[in-house]
């Protein structure tokens, strides 16, 4: 039976490490890390995510600022709000919660955030630094995957890593990070997507399979090499009348089928997902201590 790679436990370990560092900073009379979040509109999921981030800041001893704007806010006014945060020397990190209303350009908003405050790791400068293997803020999901591989001591050097999905948020950066000369890294990487021929055969050649396709239970047992490490990034609500909630959560991998043949696997929920806030807090600490942009 596969080792279950537990993101809940690992994320709590990282938060405890951050809280310990913040306590040291306070004891030394240093500057407390400060994260700002801008939330546009009243999207329920976004409000939940941002609320969880604010609570996590409190837990580790960070300061936090939440800026809430109506979904009718103009693009110019939102860019102006970002500029005010950019100019506020007390704020170390800034996130603008996605999605944004259709009349606002995500590209313009992302580009407006100062790279040194871009703790989501989405600005062109930080994506470029990642591609160059320079010190940078690695975005939340890729960071979470790297930390899970590292902390579970999963060997990546010389392995064949297959990434299913080429999104700019997960698939594409993971392909770069797993190929870099680092640990985790030094993989031979194949990136696959909807146009890949014989996708099942390619997936079955993987020593490490990272699945970020966005299709519920897409990867089945016959697509996985026995002993492979499987990282499932997807999360989907599936109607299930037998559950009190009326639904169950599944990933992009058919877990019950794949777990018996994998050597290690992330569950859904409780795998990659919980690592996202830990990544954000870690990047904010780096920003506060000027570890990336000194």
DSSP 41-84: S--HHHHHHHHHHHHHHHHHT-EEEEEEE-TT--HHHHHHHHHH
3-state secondary structure of 209: strand
Residues with catalytic roles: 53, 97, 120
Kindly state whether residue 288 falls inside one of the protein's structural domains. no
- Rg of the chain's alpha carbons, rounded to an integer? 20
Claim to verify: residue 256 and residue 149 sit in the same structural domain: yes
Same domain (yes/no): 80, 178: no
Give the β-pairing of 247-250 and 236-239.
antiparallel
In a domain, 80, yes or no: yes
Q: Looking at residues 142-151, what average pLDDT do you find?
A: 98
Return the number of other C-beta atoms located less than 10 Å from residue 166's C-beta: 18
pLDDT per position as a tens digit, 256-268: 999 999 999 999 9
Domain that holds residue 189: 140-273
- Over residues 37-50, the mean pLDDT reads 91
Q: Output the pLDDT for position 154.
A: 98
pLDDT at 1 over 90: no
Same-domain pairing of 46 and 153: no
**CATH code of residue 35:** 3.40.50.10860
Q: Are residues 106 and 205 in the same domain?
A: no
Q: Using 50, 70 and 90 to split pLDDT, how confident is the model at 252?
A: very high
Q: CATH number of the domain at 169, please.
A: 3.40.50.720
Q: Give the Cα separation of 118 and 109 in Å (integer).
A: 11
Average pLDDT, the chain: 96
Regarding whether 156 and 69 lie in a shared domain, the answer is no
Global pTM reads: 0.94
Residues 231 and 148 in one domain: yes
Domain membership flag for residue 186: yes
Same domain, 153 and 261: yes
Instruction: Tell me which of 114, 149, 167 is where a domain ends.
Output: 114
Mind listing the pLDDT tens digit for each residue in 169-215?
999 999 999 999 999 999 999 999 989 999 999 999 999 999 999 99
Please write the tens of the pLDDT for every residue from 27-40. 999 999 999 999 99
**What is the count of structural domains for the chain?**
2
Q: Please check whether residue 17 lies inside any domain of the structure.
A: no
Q: What three-state secondary structure class fits 110? A: helix
């Amino acid at each position: 039976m596969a080792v279950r790679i537990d993101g809940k436990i690992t994320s709590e370990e990282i938060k405890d490490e951050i809280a310990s560092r913040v306590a040291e900073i306070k004891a030394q009379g240093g500057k407390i890390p400060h994260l700002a979040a801008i939330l546009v509109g009243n999207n329920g999921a976004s409000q939940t995510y941002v609320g969880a981030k604010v609570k996590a800041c409190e837990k580790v001893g960070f300061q936090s600022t939440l800026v809430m704007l109506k979904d009718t806010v103009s693009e110019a006014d939102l860019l102006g709000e970002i500029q005010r945060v950019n100019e506020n020397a007390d704020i170390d990190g800034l996130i603008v919660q996605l999605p944004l209303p259709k009349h606002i350009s995500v590209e313009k908003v992302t580009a407006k955030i100062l790279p040194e405050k871009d703790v989501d790791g989405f600005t062109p400068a930080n994506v470029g630094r990642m591609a160059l293997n320079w010190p940078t803020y690695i975005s939340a999901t890729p960071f979470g995957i790297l930390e899970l591989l590292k902390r579970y001591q999963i060997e990546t050097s010389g392995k064949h890593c297959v990434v299913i999905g080429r999104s700019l948020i997960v698939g594409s950066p993971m392909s770069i990070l797993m190929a870099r000369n680092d640990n985790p890294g030094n993989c031979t990487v194949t990136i696959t997507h909807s146009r890949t021929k014989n996708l099942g055969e390619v997936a079955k050649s993987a020593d490490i399979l990272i699945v970020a396709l966005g299709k519920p239970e897409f990867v089945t047992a016959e697509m996985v090499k026995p002993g492979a490490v499987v990282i499932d990034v997807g999360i989907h609500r599936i109607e299930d009348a037998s559950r009190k909630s009326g639904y169950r959560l599944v990933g992009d991998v058919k877990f019950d089928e794949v777990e018996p043949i994998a050597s290690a696997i992330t569950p859904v929920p409780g795998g990659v997902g919980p690592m996202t806030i830990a990544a954000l807090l870690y990047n904010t600490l780096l920003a506060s201590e000027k570890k990336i942009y000194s």
